[in-house]
Structure 1
Amino acid sequence: MEPSFTADGDALVPSASARSPWSDEMLNGHHVGGLVAWGVERDSPDADLQVTRLTVDMVRPVPMRPLRVLTRRVRDGRRLRSVDVSVVDGDVEVARGSALLLRRSEQPDDEPWAPRPWEVPPPEAIEGSTGGAMSFEIRPIGDWNGAQGRVWLRERVPFVAGEPLTPLVRAALMADFANPLANSGGRGLEFINADVTLYLARDPRGEWIGMESTGHLGADGVGVGTAWLYDRDGRIGSCIAAALPDPRIRHRYRPPA
């Protein structure tokens, strides 16, 4: 499977591995988050700054065409940096995002309350990986149709040809999966997300990222799904996806059993 994008001047040209499961003419939301993270890293290559929040607004369908990723620093302080990101098709903004970067420092000794540690089988102990033609592998820990979803996820191809897949981009790619994981009901997925926000206390270590649904809220045709993120060493952050119902997607998407 080829890398998801190839650089061509100041544009990134998508390949078939970046195609959405909803439409052959549309980029996968999985990759929209990756584009925003890729832009932030190019703008802010400071190893002492942690990308703590990454928000992606999917304001339009992102076409399978060459795309430019533009960034602008909104604030550059001693302990905090804020960056805006725009993904552009020609002269049209098709997605936008923002990032909050915090300077790493000494961690306080006191420990606030947190949920119990995640105790699940490692990815290599789980059979029946899925993902099909998509660029990432899914190893489900049980069925999540109307139940709490738990999965291991791994990107299988480089994001941009000739560039290493960084921990931040790896996490940003997987953040979009909060929607099918947390917003699927007993009949499957009927929500398509309009955004995703990723929070990271630290970058993931290794190639596998775990995700666990922490709940769905819905009222008047608006859904919100939340999930924790993990690596093999423990919890690293969380994701939130806001979504709208679209029954048509059930004809194209079935969660792995």
Structure 2
Amino acid sequence: MSGSRAPFPEVTADAPLFRREREVFVPTAHTRGPWDAGQMHGGAPTALVAQHLTALAGEARLARLTFEFLGPVPIAPVRVATSVLKPGRNFQLLEATLSDTVGRPLLLARAVALAPGEVALPGAAAPVPLDPPPAPPADGVLSPFPGLDDAPPEGMHRTGMELRFIAGSVAEDGPARVWMRLPRDLVDDEPPCPAARVCAAADFGNGVSRVVGFGTHLFVNTDLTITLLREPAGEWVLMDSVTNIEPTGVGWAASTLHDESGPIGHSHQTLFVRAR
């Protein structure tokens, strides 16, 4: 897949993912993805949309987010439109569309928002106590990912996110356990909300647990679904990720998501796989 290349505004190390110009969001170079220098990494637009859906949900909690990519998202100005498909005191169904400036939809999203409550649970239904996951290591291991050494210096997988591996690495094929953090604001000086932080990390599931190389294959996710038991606390999201692909060119990547206190949810990606 390829996309049209767009010039970037001057970017600094601490620049946000997007700059706002009235109702338009202009991506910075930190949003760039691994497949084409003119396309965004999926974590950037999904985080932007999640920020809007969180605002639309009000006091309700986002329990599920589903994103459908209609194709590569070019690095170009975008708009976000939201609507409430099903209002309700206990359960809402929300929708968002990310489009280019001429109205062409690029990304569709739906979210289930549930009213928070207090529920007494019998012993058999109570969450199983788990040991807290290991804290993020003091030092991070950042890209370049193997096979991407000739890519531009800025990108979501290089400068946009911080990665700290517990198991696996960017140099290894197979399952991985990695702490991830979005170390910058999302839009101008607006920090990412918890759901946006999760989206920015969850779209890396297929990349950190790849089973084929970036230089030899495409393994692009066509969607991203996230279910959340609760909002993550803090900036860090731990992903236990695994990828499975078939010779038919179809695959999936699944991740269990944690914060520093324990599990918070799961994510799933459907993969389109081809040899380069």
Say whether the fold is shared (TM-score over 0.5): yes
User: 1:245 Cα deviation (Å)?
Assistant: 0.5
Change beyond 3 A, Cα 1:228–1:24: same
* Residue number in structure 2 paired with 1:142: 167
The answer (yes or no) to whether the contact 2:219–2:272 under 8 Å persists in 1 is yes
Q: Equivalents in 2 of 1:245, 1:88: separation in Å?
A: 25
Helix, strand or coil at the partner of 2:167: coil
* Residue number in structure 2 paired with 1:123: 136
TM-score, normalization by structure 1: 0.86
List per-residue Cα deviations over 1:113-167 (Å, max 9, x = no partner). 8788366532134x44214633100111232544331000011111101212211
List per-residue Cα deviations over 1:165-209 (Å, max 9, x = no partner). 211111111110122234x11656751111110111111101111
Q: Equivalents in 1 of 2:118, 2:221: separation in Å?
A: 36
* Residue number in structure 2 paired with 1:33: 46
The answer (yes or no) to whether the contact 1:228–1:237 under 8 Å persists in 2 is yes
Q: Equivalents in 2 of 1:140, 1:118: separation in Å?
A: 18
Change beyond 3 A, Cα 1:186–1:9: closer
* Residue number in structure 1 paired with 2:251: 223
Stretch moving more, 146-155 or 210-219: 210-219
Change beyond 3 A, Cα 1:71–1:219: farther
* Residue number in structure 2 paired with 1:185: 211
Stretch moving more, 218-227 or 33-42: 218-227
* Residue number in structure 1 paired with 2:6: none
The answer (yes or no) to whether the contact 2:249–2:273 under 8 Å persists in 1 is yes
Q: Equivalents in 2 of 1:63, 1:38: separation in Å?
A: 20
TM-score, normalization by structure 2: 0.81
Equivalent pairs, count: 244
The answer (yes or no) to whether the contact 2:249–2:274 under 8 Å persists in 1 is no
Instruction: Give the 5 Å matches for 1:1-257.
Output: 1=13, 2-44=15-57, 46-47=58-59, 49-89=60-100, 90-110=102-122, 111-112=124-125, 117=130, 120-125=133-138, 127-131=139-143, 133=154, 134-143=159-168, 145-182=172-209, 184-185=210-211, 187=213, 190-213=218-241, 216=244, 218=246, 220-248=248-276
Unaligned ranges ≥5, structure 2? 1-12, 145-153
Q: Equivalents in 2 of 1:186, 1:22: separation in Å?
A: 14
Q: Equivalents in 2 of 1:51, 1:62: separation in Å?
A: 24
Q: Equivalents in 2 of 1:19, 1:41: separation in Å?
A: 24
The answer (yes or no) to whether the contact 1:208–1:232 under 8 Å persists in 2 is yes
The answer (yes or no) to whether the contact 2:51–2:192 under 8 Å persists in 1 is no
Please give the root-mean-square deviation of Cα atoms over the aligned residues, in Å: 2.2
